Structure 1
């Protein structure tokens, strides 16, 4: 392409154009992989970090996020971008020196979120975050069965080891034995269910990618309680799921 400046108009004008060396645009299914397009949303980053804290590996997380999006071309990033984001999240340090000092003081179970994960090979892992926002393991155990009594004994041993200091909240899956044990031992601690398990349950029970996507946005959104309840009721009515509430 050649342009010339026209003094009489004070503008540049194109006087010759050749498309001989032009190339076809990239197919839509591959355009998401261009460097300028590859970016994780804040919601996906939050969900990914929560899954990592629950012991889910990165490849499994990528598979789940892809399943929620519907197709691979709808996910505007790849596993390598996820690894880079994980490294960035784990190494960012708050700029406020006072916040850093406070985190250094609180490097114990007190004022921490506790992630309680029971694996299928009789392992139980208790984890949380350190002052660099890195996932660390507080304790691990091998158990002979997955009954409420066993979990109660285990949680009491954890409390003894932490000198009676309780976490601010505890996050688990939906296993009834674990939920009963948490209610018995940490009766005054906020108990929350793992986001990854909630989304997996929504995906398997409803089987509608559109519902799963909207459910995830509502669940991870920063809403007041009343506003969240209103959006939840609207979502249930939209997809006609009143008979599938659990």
Structure 2
């Protein structure tokens, strides 16, 4: 949830096409009737549960700006825990990593990593054509287009190996929990990116089977977790020959959020 004052400021800028400077310099300027009506429409949409990021059409992640599409999740701060986990794994920022982002969505996770590793190259995969298109646009807009590709596919079905790092923020909400989600998420985020099956583990089963064939020896995977899923996901990874490298990294709320595999073997 955004801070109300910040939300009001953002809606004013959006509805009246103003900059931050305009809000100060034109504070006493009367609002035209048409503009007032536009503001009422925006305020009504927000009151009805449409997230501010959807109204604005943009969201910041890892200090980078991302344009959203209906097919993409709104990037969330807790996913930055995965970026932090990768930075701890690979402290050499000029490492020529080959990165795979499965379920790339807006491309936020892949773009954040490529911004931190200037010698890395990355591939994003998403089942949604709309999400893949938006991810590609975002990567190009951020100056990362030459070091990245985005394809449409079902997880890793069309891929060979050769990756040093695989990251993923898969759908992990149990199907029966969808109806109880906050309205902003339930009604405005794509169901494809939320619904993880009966126990929220369907995507992790697919990922656990695929990862050994995707990673080079010594390669790592970092996966986002839903609340309470660490033990189950760790068991799936261990059964696939990729046991977790210690406890999952916790987000700022103290929730186990990013599980990291140990180095892949031959």
- TM-score normalised by L of structure 2: 0.26
Q: Flag the structure with larger Rg.
A: 1
- TM-score normalised by L of structure 1: 0.28
Q: Which has the higher helix share?
A: 1
